[in-house]
Amino acid sequence: MTAIAALAARAGGTGTARMSVWAAVRAVVQLAAVAGVIVFVVRHWWATAAFVVLMLAAATVTSARRMTRHRRGLLAGLALLAGTAPVLAVVLATGAVPLTGVAVVPVAGIVIGGAMTATSLAGRRALAQLTDRHGEYEAALALGLLPRDAAVLVIRSAAHDALVPALDQTRTVGLVTLPGAFVGVLLGSGDPVRAAVAQILVLVGLLAAETVAALVTVELVARQRIVRDPPHDRAPA
């Protein structure tokens, strides 16, 4: 499957052939490492909390690099935290997810991963729109709009675009795809109804986390807290 991805990327000229191989290798190494420590992590609350913080930090760095080389990109962590914290608080406070390490770690990982994707997509789209539609931004300023309001006028669609994958996945679940949580419960000899409940919990949690994360990211860009690459770091046109 890695070969298929790499060969297709090379044939299509996407420039991601090596990235595909490297991503697959990293996935194997990282999951092997996680498998080696997960038993210890889920048995100790301090280790569980530390592991969740580590996932959040890794997601922050990943989103920051996807958006900009400027150090302010690390503010992506605010968007990730804003999207992830409420969802985890709700599912843990209501008992929807047991307050045990073996339950918290995978759920936190799923939610953080979804928020990371939405943050990266929203940030990249918003920053690109500010560049491509800079004339409109300047025109809005000339009409008397504040910089933040002028930016929102230009980049407001970035959050919507970032949420398209999550919306499509939620709307088509069971018709087009049977996502991981559903399949995982079934493979573990679970009841189909329980599998469906678990999947709905994950999907709605992801949608909530990604919506908040995307909106916070766009707001950070609009307020110039997250900015484009410094001029000397940008690729030539």
Max CA-CA distance within the chain?
64
Least confident of 17-21, 115-119, 172-176: 172-176
Tens digits of per-residue pLDDT, 106-143? Answer: 889 999 999 999 999 999 999 999 989 989 889 999 99
Question: Which pLDDT score is estimated for 172?
Answer: 82
Q: Based on the domain organization, do 20 and 79 belong to the same domain?
A: no
pLDDT at residue 146 above 70?
A: yes
- Give the integer Cα–Cα distance in Å for 92 and 86: 10
Contact 41, 47 (CB under 8 A): yes
Q: Based on the domain organization, do 172 and 197 belong to the same domain?
A: yes
Contact 179, 173 (CB under 8 A): yes
Question: Which pLDDT score is estimated for 8?
Answer: 94
- The whole-number average pLDDT for the span 167-171 is 86
Contact 76, 67 (CB under 8 A): yes
Q: Based on the domain organization, do 73 and 98 belong to the same domain?
A: yes
Q: Based on the domain organization, do 67 and 135 belong to the same domain?
A: yes
Number of domains in the chain: 2
Q: Based on the domain organization, do 31 and 126 belong to the same domain?
A: no
pLDDT at residue 5 above 70?
A: yes
pLDDT at residue 235 above 50?
A: no
pLDDT at residue 24 above 90?
A: yes
Q: Based on the domain organization, do 85 and 186 belong to the same domain?
A: yes
The CA R_g of the chain, rounded to the nearest whole Å, is: 20
Q: How many residues does the chain have?
A: 237
Average pLDDT, the chain: 87
| C-alpha closest to that of 92 among 58, 54, 37, 52 | 52
Q: Based on the domain organization, do 23 and 60 belong to the same domain?
A: no
pLDDT, greater one: 13 or 122: 122
Q: Based on the domain organization, do 55 and 103 belong to the same domain?
A: yes
| C-alpha closest to that of 173 among 201, 152, 154, 147 | 201
Tens digits of per-residue pLDDT, 59-109? Answer: 999 999 999 988 888 999 999 999 999 999 999 999 888 888 888 888 899
| C-alpha closest to that of 124 among 18, 195, 17, 229 | 229
* Distance from the Cα of residue 81 to its chain's centroid: 11
- Give the integer Cα–Cα distance in Å for 179 and 154: 35
Least confident of 28-32, 161-165, 194-198, 219-223: 194-198
Q: Based on the domain organization, do 77 and 16 belong to the same domain?
A: no
Show the domain range for 4. 1-42
pLDDT, greater one: 145 or 183: 145
Q: Based on the domain organization, do 204 and 106 belong to the same domain?
A: yes
Q: Based on the domain organization, do 87 and 179 belong to the same domain?
A: yes
pTM as predicted: 0.79
Q: Based on the domain organization, do 100 and 69 belong to the same domain?
A: yes
- The whole-number average pLDDT for the span 22-35 is 89
